[in-house]
């Protein structure tokens, strides 16, 4: 919910401020990984966070979990993409999140996966077909 999203933002901002950051710097750092309330893809019902049962930490260690590696390799078969892949932060505007998956449909997911595209890059292709 929007309320929960705002709670997550507030918690992270408070944590960064306790480490010595200003409010503005803490908010900017938080928004690198967490979208503002009302902007989360989770609100659409198309995105979800998937954590491995042996590691329920929502952090970069998920990328090394065998279950996560399998999911990244096979998610397109089920119509999902890894929404915020590594080395695509400059395109998505969001830091790498190995746990965040989005449903786009099988055909789109397989197209995007086979070409290493983010959702943003896919939308560009849709707007400007060859």
How many CB atoms are closer than 10 A to CB 52?
19
How many CB atoms are closer than 10 A to CB 83?
22
Nearest one of 68, 62, 63, 81 to 123, comparing CA atoms: 81
- Specify whether 7 is catalytic: no
Query: Going by C-beta distance under 8 Å and a sequence separation of 6 or more, which residues neighbour residue 117?
Result: 111, 125
Query: Going by C-beta distance under 8 Å and a sequence separation of 6 or more, which residues neighbour residue 121?
Result: 91, 112
Check 97, 107, 120, 121 and give the catalytic one: 97
How many CB atoms are closer than 10 A to CB 44?
9
Catalytic residue set: 97
């Amino acid at each position: 919910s929007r309320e929960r999203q705002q709670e997550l933002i507030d918690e992270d901002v408070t944590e960064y401020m306790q480490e010595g950051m200003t409010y503005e710097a803490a908010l900017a750092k938080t928004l690198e990984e967490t979208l503002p309330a009302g902007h989360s893809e989770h609100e659409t019902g198309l995105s979800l966070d998937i954590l491995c049962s042996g590691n329920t930490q929502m952090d970069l260690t998920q990328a090394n979990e065998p279950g996560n590696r399998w999911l990244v390799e096979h998610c397109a078969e089920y119509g999902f993409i890894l929404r915020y892949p590594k080395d695509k932060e400059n395109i998505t505007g969001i830091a790498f999140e190995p746990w965040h998956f989005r449903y786009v449909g099988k055909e789109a997911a397989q197209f995007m996966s086979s070409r290493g595209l983010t959702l943003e890059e896919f939308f560009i292709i849709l707007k400007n077909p060859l």
